[in-house]
Amino acid sequence: MKGLKTVYICSECGHTQSKWSGQCPSCRAWNCMTEDVVAEEPKAQAKHPTRYAGESVRLDDYEIPEYFRTGTGMSELDRVLGGGIVNGSVVLLAGEPGVGKSTLLLQISGALGLGRKVLYVSGEESKGQIKMRAARLRVSGPNLYLLNETNVDAIVSAHEKLRPDVIIIDSVQTIYSDGIASAPGSVTQVKDAAMKFIGIAKNEGVSVLLVGHVNKEGSIAGPKVLEHMVDAVLYFEGEREHIYRIIRAIKNRFGSTNEIGVFEMTERGLREVPNPSEVMLASRPRNVSGNCAACVMEGTRPLITEIQALTAYTGAPSPRRTSDGIDYNRMYLLIAVLEKRMGLRLSNADVYLNVIGGLRLTETAADAAVALALYSAIKDKPVPDELIAFGEIGLSGEIRAVSGVDQRVSEAIRLGFTRIALPAKCAERLNIDTKGARLIPVRSVFELTTLI
């Protein structure tokens, strides 16, 4: 085509070059150069539409603006956002196909629509499909508007006519601009669309929620640069087979990124799970080796779940190691500690680790439970039902102190655990009524394994 040229754009950092390469020369990421078509001479406007323009002001003279937040009607989501959606902010909700992104946004549209005008733009589903879902979810309201559109300028005009307070774009990968030659979903298209919506949000105080698809590698399809542009990035996780869904913030300019929200997918849509520990433990197998309850902090909230380990002897030269929910490096480290410090032989055993409820544990405080589950699996000795363990394990096999001890112990007691193994250092500092539960201070992996 005339006036156009093919370029390769890094989906991680936005670096542009005329030739393809396996590695981005700018940020050194691999397999991230995507083909794109751009104008020979980029229009000044397309390059950097102004987000903010104005005079400089002395910081001392500037008053703190009030960031009004609007509740979404779901406290699990509000907590992840830091207390509701900030007016004038742009939130990206990313997740794999079918996880429930459209469902969640339609549900919160219902709640947001109680006080504010909401425009739900879908580039993926017809109004009929959305209406059917709305009927199933019991979502309705006079302030809720639907639009089937993928052209960014048409969406902007619809916005100017309707003047909504909240705009939902499902999904940002379907949106395109006439001025850009490449296909919807390409780096330039997604960036351009995001720029326009960010402009609307910042200049007019409209809250924008963008749906982003996630590719097989687990990153947002299209540019990583999109994550840098928006105010908050939420990941919606969960396997389609599991009914539990977890939302976590991986970036938030208006709140912490530690909190998670737990939901359950039902026929009537997503239901909040305010007490996830109960749910995680609900179908606990009894008296089976390889299982151990763990207590992790998810933000300010303690959460009890179960670690499952399975070991099976194999003649294969390199045994299998798989983990669902526990970091691979952590698994290897704990296996090495058990081999070296406890004299266990795992070099001829396949090891499978799993965390109940599709949870992904990032805390080292789960080490003690993982080690105990592994030990229990190898020895084929069940961990007693009433026993729970937490604590970080060091390379010498020592059990190290962790934070949030009062919360963890309280949650364990609340859920009926009567023997709580914890780092000895933590036991000294504990300051709560244990209601008859026994605290067992442990100093080493060896001491821990004597409990079963």
Ligand X SMILES: Nc1ncnc2c1ncn2[C@@H]1O[C@H](COP(=O)(O)OP(=O)(O)OP(=O)(O)O)[C@@H](O)[C@H]1O
Choose among ligand X, Mg ion, Zn ion, none what residue 24 binds, the Cβ cut-off being 5 to 8 Å by kind.
Answer: Zn ion
Residue 124 CB, shortest distance to Mg ion, in Å, is: 6
- SS3 of 16-75: EECCCCCECCCCCCECCEEEEEEECCCCHHHHCCCCCCCCCCCHHHCCCCCCCEECCCCH
Q: Which of residues 183-212 bind ligand X (CB under 6 A)?
A: none
Tell me the C-alpha distance between 92 and 75, whole Å.
18
Using rule CB under 6 A, residue 267 touches ligand X: yes
* Residue placing its CB nearer to Mg ion in the complex, 102 or 207: 102
* Residue placing its CB nearer to ligand X in the complex, 109 or 364: 109
Tell me the C-alpha distance between 372 and 359, whole Å.
18
Q: Which of residues 118-157 bind ligand X (CB under 6 A)?
A: 124
Please tell me the count of residues contacting Mg ion according to CB under 5 A. 1
Which residue's beta carbon is nearest to the bound Mg ion? 102
Residue 406: enclosing H or E segment and its boundaries? helix 405-414
Asked if residue 414 lies in contact with residue 432, where contact means CB atoms within 8 angstroms, the answer is: no
Please tell me the count of residues contacting ligand X according to CB under 6 A. 12
Residue 72 CB, shortest distance to ligand X, in Å, is: 15
Q: What token pair was written down for 79?
A: 């907590």
Tell me the C-alpha distance between 297 and 305, whole Å.
11
Choose among Zn ion, Mg ion, ligand X, none what residue 100 binds, the Cβ cut-off being 5 to 8 Å by kind.
Answer: ligand X
Residue 373 CB, shortest distance to ligand X, in Å, is: 29
Residue 440: enclosing H or E segment and its boundaries? strand 438-442
Phi, psi torsion values for 317, nearest 5 degrees: -60, -40
* Residue placing its CB nearer to Zn ion in the complex, 224 or 414: 224
Residue 363 CB, shortest distance to ligand X, in Å, is: 27
Per CB under 5 A, the list member of 70, 72, 87, 102 interacting with Mg ion is 102
* Residue placing its CB nearer to ligand X in the complex, 101 or 117: 101
Phi, psi torsion values for 74, nearest 5 degrees: -130, 110
* Residue placing its CB nearer to ligand X in the complex, 159 or 213: 213
Per CB under 6 A, the list member of 87, 102, 173, 188 interacting with ligand X is 102
Residue 422 CB, shortest distance to ligand X, in Å, is: 38
* Residue placing its CB nearer to ligand X in the complex, 8 or 236: 236
Using rule CB under 6 A, residue 311 touches ligand X: no
Q: What token pair was written down for 335?
A: 């296996």
Q: What token pair was written down for 76?
A: 């699990």
- Identify whether 171 is preceded by a cis peptide bond (ω within 30 of 0): yes
Asked if residue 93 lies in contact with residue 104, where contact means CB atoms within 8 angstroms, the answer is: yes
